[in-house]
Amino acid sequence: MQTNGKWLGIDRRQFLARTSGSLLAAAIPCSLKAAGRTAISSGSSQSSAVSSPQPAASSMRKIPIGVFDPVYEHLSLEEMLERVSALGLEAMEIGTGGYPGTGHCPIDELLADSAKAKAWKKKFDDHGIRVATLSCHGNPVHPDEKHAARDRESFRKTVLLAERLDVKVIVGFSGCPGGTPTDTQPNWITYRWPPEYGEMLDWQWTEKVVPYWKEAAKFARTHGVHRLALEMHPNFVVYNPRTLMKLREMAGEEIGANCDLSHLFWQGCDPVEVIHFLGKEKAIFHAHMKDTVLFPENVAKYGVLNFASEVAELPEASAAFRAVGYGHSASLWKSVVRAYMDIGYEGILSIENEDPILSGPVGVERAAYVLKNVRSELLGS
């Protein structure tokens, strides 16, 4: 439940921000304590970093590096812009509702008064920062109609604001319905057996997910927005490249990916393969820059579906989010940025920090350092 852009209880970002420093150091498996090194890397991912041919620097676009604003929720808009500008970042992803809130974007005011919208955007322009994407991550197909209606309205307003500001990309979640018409909570189904689960999965897509996103895509198209970047995230019906492409094929080409690799590493995906696959389909509209560390001793015992939800669970965790370069090597991230250049990606590299060790702005600074360096190496500058 949301009140003034804040969610009652503790969300994932709050939990990770609170479990920093010495608390986590005492709890994490021994593999991560060794000088903060990478605990495990995908063999296929590392081989991609080594074997991919280096394209000519002159043929590659300089992809802007930016940041997703909730990490600066404690700062005013002006303070945040000063901080981002000082880091040499070139773009921002701004929350306009749903889980990210509206802390730096008074969306109702900006929709009510075009002069205010122009003045708000000018603050970014004056710092040399582009408002590249608007984000309203939520669950517009939630079985609780109040919840769903709130998130659908956030999406509607975000589309209208994107039209006013000439922002071309909106980021969000696909959502997750219940499993039957009488359910009151979402039901994330990834396996079709026993048979009732297959029936529920079919019902979700046929009756809830596809109809909503067809209408949402049509509404966005009507207002000049053709890129709806859905994050492939657990607990939502789009959680990997296959489910993303399924929805794109059924709801329209306005549907594409927010390619957040942190949610794909633990599923065993090779990031370069994912980027090339989705890029070939022209289906990558946005990219979150966030890493994941896997703890091999716990993966071996418990498997990968084992993220910690409480501090006491961290010693048994199989995975945790990290800043870019702290879960996988800088060489791997160089291959990721190269892959985005290879496919002619037109978006930004948007840093989202949920690192429980390098918490808050510190993680943004570390990620920015890695990304700027690998981009410079690729461009020969």
Q: Which residues are CB-contacts of 299 (< 8 A; sequence separation ≥ 6)?
A: 40, 306, 318, 319
Q: Which amino acid is at 8?
A: L
How far apart are alpha carbons 150 and 167 in whole angstroms? 22
> Tell me, what's the pLDDT at 267?
95
| Structure-derived torsion over alpha carbons of residues 261, 267, 272, 277, reported in degrees to the nearest 10 | -100
Q: What is the mean pLDDT of each run of 10 residues along the chain (381 residues)?
A: 39 45 41 41 42 57 97 97 98 97 97 98 98 98 98 98 98 98 97 97 98 98 98 98 98 98 97 98 98 95 84 83 95 98 97 91 97 97 78
> Tell me, what's the pLDDT at 57?
58
Q: Which amino acid is at 240?
A: N
How far apart are alpha carbons 173 and 206 in whole angstroms? 18
How far apart are alpha carbons 236 and 234 in whole angstroms? 5
Tell me which H or E stretch contains 301.
Answer: helix 296-302
Q: How far does Cα 123 stand from its chain's mean position?
A: 25
> Tell me, what's the pLDDT at 60?
83
Helices (H) then strands (E): counts for the chain: 16, 12
> Tell me, what's the pLDDT at 6?
40
Judged by phi (left if over 0) then psi (alpha if -120 to 50, else beta), residue 224 lies in left
pTM reported for the whole predicted model: 0.87
Judged by phi (left if over 0) then psi (alpha if -120 to 50, else beta), residue 298 lies in alpha
> Tell me, what's the pLDDT at 36?
39
Strands 6-7 and 169-172: unpaired
Q: Residues 147, 106: contact at Cβ < 8 Å?
A: no
